[in-house]
């Protein structure tokens, strides 16, 4: 398929004789006293004050203009890329829903993202705003279907949370936590292209690589995300859904592979981190305009991870710019310290095409991964070093070889500041400390 791909219909298979068409989502501190939303299963219950578009941030979000046949899974999928969804209330008679996230920060990130990119469900735009309510309580007995779906989501999220006291090597990923999905298309009455798959799955995070092939007379694909969490969210939301009405059903599982090796960028395979790859058969590399579009995927990953994070006591707001490049001042002019070219910086970990660093891009967390530590540096040295950034070191653990370690700050904001201050810090013996956010816990 050439050119832009239009929104692709996706339906949910609810039974052997019932297939619904629709689309996946389009992508990815108040002075009020604590209020509670209580649901008794009656869609006619009045909710006042939710028509206001701008409100104080709340972890409860009010979603309006929902399609009549939308499912709980589709609504929950709107929030999955931004964090844990803790509760949901569907008001189908009013075409509305309330979605509760685990933290206010996650809700802020979600609202900010969808204020720039209008989400769609079943080819229909939906609208998201902060609710006036601070907590969502539902009657589980009368809201059984929604609660069952939510419990399934929670089970997946809990199963992939490391147990306290355990550590995982940054390069060791078990099959169940692989960032690579294996996709099989059943009932393929219409062609499914690589671009169609990219459009659908990129709603849940940056897609790094896709390989398509036919095996046992079935169209299959391997698709790699930058983060295993994105793969888990996509599998939960899309497994069993139809790309087109009543056909092209997605069967999704985790692959045992943790990294895909793509040799060509063409209609069968593509590496979005390597726009320089040839298309095969002696063909030249991709057109520069197309290559630039692929490079945008790492920009989206940065926006999703950083938008809504707190730094210097304020919330960071990140959106895509209309500008394609940063214009540097002409040579000889004083830039007053406002611009800097990082193109040739030795700290640029994502400059090398196909670098394994792309597999270790994680959103900011309180736990930091430290590497390139010389033998002479002890735990107390590192604790003191990181405490001097103005934060509190809550936990520390060396890896077995003492060349790497995990260090946990008191808050995500403190960890962000520590990374800024200490990445590439000279520890002596020609060792410069490498600091990155970790997916593991101590």
Per-residue pLDDT tens for 100-144?
Answer: 998 998 898 888 878 777 788 877 889 999 999 888 877 665 567
Same structural domain, 127 and 204: no
Decide which of 159 and 183 is more confident: 183
Give the rounded percent of residues in the chain with a pLDDT score beyond 90: 28
Same structural domain, 258 and 184: yes
Same structural domain, 186 and 146: no
Match 């147990």 to its residue by tokens: 163
What angle, rounded to 10 degrees, do the helices at 228-238 and 194-201 form?
100
Q: Is residue 217, in this structure, part of any structural domain at all?
A: yes
Cβ atoms of 212 and 219 closer than 8 Å:
yes
Domain, as residue range, for 106: 60-151
CATH code (residue 412): 3.30.70.330
What are φ and ψ of residue 177, in 5° steps?
A: -110, 20
DSSP label of 202: G
Same structural domain, 199 and 132: no
What gap in Å lies between CA 185 and CA 252, rounded to an integer?
9
SS3 157: helix
Same structural domain, 187 and 256: yes
Q: Is residue 28, in this structure, part of any structural domain at all?
A: no
Q: Is residue 157, in this structure, part of any structural domain at all?
A: no
What gap in Å lies between CA 415 and CA 386, rounded to an integer?
9
What is the DSSP code string of 24-85? Answer: PPP----SSPP-EEEE-S-TT---TTTT-SS----SEEEEES--TT--HHHHHHHHGGGS-E
Give the rounded percent of residues in the chain with a pLDDT score beyond 70: 73
SS3 322: coil
Confidence of residue 284 (pLDDT cuts 50, 70, 90): low
The domain total for the chain is: 3
Match 């990815």 to its residue by tokens: 28
Instruction: Give me the mean pLDDT over the 350-366 stretch.
Output: 70
Taking only Cα atoms into account, the Rg of the chain, rounded to an integer number of angstroms, comes to 23
Report how far apart, in Å, the C-alpha atoms of 56 and of each of 61, 131, 267 are.
11, 8, 46
Q: Which two tokens stand for residue 388?
A: 């001097």
Q: Is residue 223, in this structure, part of any structural domain at all?
A: yes
What gap in Å lies between CA 114 and CA 66, rounded to an integer?
15
Q: Is residue 314, in this structure, part of any structural domain at all?
A: no
Give the per-residue pLDDT at 162.
38
Q: How many CA atoms are closer than 13 Å to the CA of 407, on its beta-carbon side?
A: 31
What gap in Å lies between CA 356 and CA 420, rounded to an integer?
22
Residue 253, H or E segment: strand 247-254
Cβ atoms of 81 and 28 closer than 8 Å:
yes
Same structural domain, 135 and 205: no
SS3 383: helix
Confidence of residue 352 (pLDDT cuts 50, 70, 90): low
Is residue 329 scored above 60 in pLDDT?
yes
Q: Is residue 128, in this structure, part of any structural domain at all?
A: yes
Same structural domain, 87 and 142: yes
Q: Is residue 339, in this structure, part of any structural domain at all?
A: no
Same structural domain, 255 and 216: yes
Instruction: Give me the mean pLDDT over the 301-305 stretch.
Output: 76
What gap in Å lies between CA 157 and CA 235, rounded to an integer?
12
Give the per-residue pLDDT at 298.
79
What gap in Å lies between CA 385 and CA 33, rounded to an integer?
41
Decide which of 135 and 38 is more confident: 135
Question: Which of 2-16, 79-93, 412-426 is the most confident on average?
Answer: 412-426
Q: Is residue 344, in this structure, part of any structural domain at all?
A: no
101 CB-near residues (< 8 Å, 6+ apart): 59, 61, 79, 82, 83, 84, 85, 86, 107, 110
Same structural domain, 123 and 195: no
């Amino acid at each position: 398929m050439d050119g832009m791909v239009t929104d692709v219909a996706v339906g949910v298979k609810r039974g052997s004789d019932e297939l619904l068409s629709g689309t996946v989502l389009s992508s990815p501190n108040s002075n009020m006293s604590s209020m509670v939303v209580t649901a008794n299963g009656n869609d006619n219950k009045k909710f006042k004050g939710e028509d206001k578009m701008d409100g104080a941030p709340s972890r409860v979000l009010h979603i309006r203009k929902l399609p009549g046949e939308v499912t709980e899974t589709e609504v929950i999928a709107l929030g999955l890329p931004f964090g844990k969804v803790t509760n949901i209330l569907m008001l189908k008679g009013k075409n509305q829903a309330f979605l509760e996230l685990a933290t206010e920060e996650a809700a802020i990130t979600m609202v900010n993202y969808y204020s720039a990119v209008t989400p769609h469900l079943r080819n229909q735009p939906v609208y998201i705003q902060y609710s006036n309510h601070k907590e969502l309580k539902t009657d589980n007995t009368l809201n059984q279907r929604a609660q069952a779906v939510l419990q399934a989501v929670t089970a997946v999220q809990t199963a992939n949370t490391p147990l306290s006291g355990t550590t995982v090597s940054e390069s060791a990923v078990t099959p169940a936590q692989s960032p690579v999905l294996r996709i099989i298309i059943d009932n393929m009455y219409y062609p499914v292209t690589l671009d169609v798959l990219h459009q659908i799955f990129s709603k849940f995070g940056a897609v790094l690589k896709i390989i398509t092939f036919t095996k046992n007379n079935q169209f299959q694909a391997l698709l790699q995300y930058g983060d295993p969490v994105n793969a888990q969210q996509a599998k939960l939301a899309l497994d069993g859904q139809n790309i087109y009405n009543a056909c092209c059903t997605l069967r999704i599982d985790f692959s045992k592979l943790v990294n895909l090796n793509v040799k060509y960028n063409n209609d069968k395979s593509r590496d979005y981190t390597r726009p320089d790859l040839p298309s095969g058969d002696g063909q030249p590399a991709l057109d520069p305009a197309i290559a630039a579009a692929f490079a945008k995927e790492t920009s989206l990953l940065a926006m999703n991870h950083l938008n809504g994070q707190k730094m210097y006591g304020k919330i960071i707001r990140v959106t895509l710019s209309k500008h394609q490049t940063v214009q540097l001042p002409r040579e000889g002019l004083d830039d007053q310290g406002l611009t800097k070219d990082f193109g040739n910086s030795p700290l640029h970990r994502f400059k090398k095409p196909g670098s394994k660093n792309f597999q270790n891009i994680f959103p900011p967390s309180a736990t930091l991964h430290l590497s390139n530590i010389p033998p002479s540096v002890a735990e107390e040295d590192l604790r003191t070093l990181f405490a001097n950034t103005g934060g509190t070191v809550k936990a520390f653990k060396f890896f077995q070889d003492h060349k790497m370690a995990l260090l946990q700050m008191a808050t995500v904001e403190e960890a962000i500041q520590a990374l800024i201050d200490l990445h590439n810090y000279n520890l002596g013996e020609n060792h410069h400390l490498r600091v990155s956010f970790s997916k593991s816990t101590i």
